[in-house]
Amino acid sequence: MARLRRIFAPGIPSHITVRGNDRQDIFRGEGDRLFFYACLLDASRRHGLAIHAYVLMTNHVHLVATAAHSGSAPKAVQAVGRRYVDYFNKRHARSGTLWEGRYRSCPVETDRYLLACHRYVDLNPVRVGLVRHPDEFPWSSHRAYAQGWADDLVTPHPVVLSLATDGADRYAAYRALFDEPLTRETLDLIRKASRAGRPLGSDAFRSLLEEEAGVRAGGKRGWVSGRSRGFVRSRPREGSKAAMA
């Protein structure tokens, strides 16, 4: 089966997912999450990846992030992978792979789906029954947006900042987004786009990416390779040892 090609576009958010191999836990305690958080914070700053939303589940991680340049996301995620796997294997006296193949990523149309992706990420712990409300889960960006907690990893997207000019009003507006659950249709759209690596957005959004990047968005194999105007296709070279690639 052909490997999915991923497109990272400067200024366009992406939904990025990293999973444990065979659904195994990638975090066995709070110390593991703390170290992963530190790795992600360092790599995102070094490589220019603005993290808007995140959740560190037991066996997978979700991010919503915007790249400063075409190599930001691949370099940041691969750097985290190498550093964290080395730490995890030593700490837990294990060897071998930790990740379920390559991480997945899809571009997100800002106006229509960015806030939906925020809700999708924040509600992960609720959907699997870990907590009853997203503000009860400490390892996500939800508290930063809903309650104003300090979180060095979080860089608010302009769409979130536009919810209100005042901080308290913005927190209230963000909390109000969770008064209603995501529709089944929206959940399916996010999941399908993430699995396939296809753009999450309207036909106009996909057409814009096609025009800008010189690639085809859609079809059974997702993106067709292309490089233009700062867009990059992410595909490891043969023999690459990138831990998450």
Q: With respect to residue 241, please indicate whether it lies within any of the assigned structural domains.
A: no
Q: In this structure, is residue 49 part of a structural domain?
A: yes
Q: How far apart are CA 228 and CA 215, in angstroms?
A: 9
Rama region for 222: left / alpha / beta (φ>0; ψ in -120 to 50; rest): left
7: in domain: no
Stated pTM of the model: 0.85
Q: Which of 12-50 are b and which e, b meaning 16 or more Cβ less than 10 Å from the residue's Cβ?
A: bbbbbbbbbeeeeebbeeeebbebbbbbbeebbeebbbb
Which tokens go with 77?
């995620």
pLDDT band at residue 102 under the 50/70/90 scheme: confident
For residue 16, name the pLDDT band (cuts at 50, 70, 90): very high
* 226 compared with 43, residue with greater pLDDT: 43
Cα–Cα distance, 102 to 240 (Å, whole number): 12
Residue 74 lies in a domain: yes
The reply to whether 5 falls in a domain is: no
Is 2 within the bounds of a domain?
no
Residue 164 has pLDDT above 90, yes or no: yes
User: Would you say residue 210 has pLDDT above 50?
Assistant: yes
The residues, any chain, with a CB within 8 Å of residue 68's CB and separated by 6 or more, are: 10, 48, 49, 50
State residue 166's pLDDT score.
95
CATH number of the domain bearing residue 103: 3.30.70.1290
How far is the C-alpha of 11 from the C-alpha of 69, rounded, in Å?
8
The DSSP symbol for 7 reads E
Q: What are the C-alpha distances in Å from 128 to residues 21, 32, 95, 124, 226?
A: 19, 20, 28, 7, 38
> Is 1 domain-assigned?
no
| Span 25-40, pLDDT tens digits | 999 999 999 999 999 9
The number of folded domains in the chain is 1
Distance CA 20, CA 5 (A): 20
Task: Report the C-alpha gap between 156 and 215 in whole angstroms.
Answer: 29
Q: pLDDT at residue 220 above 60? A: no
Give the containing element (helix H, strand E) for 23.
none
**pLDDT of 236 higher than 50:** no
DSSP lists the bridge partners of residue 61 as 18, 56
Q: Say how far residue 32 (Cα) sits from the centre of its chain.
A: 19
Q: Which domain holds residue 151?
A: 12-234
In the chain, the percentage of residues whose pLDDT exceeds 90 is 71
Nearest to 67 by CA among 56, 55, 77, 57: 77
Q: Is residue 242 in a domain?
A: no
For the cut 50, the answer to whether the pLDDT of residue 6 exceeds it is yes
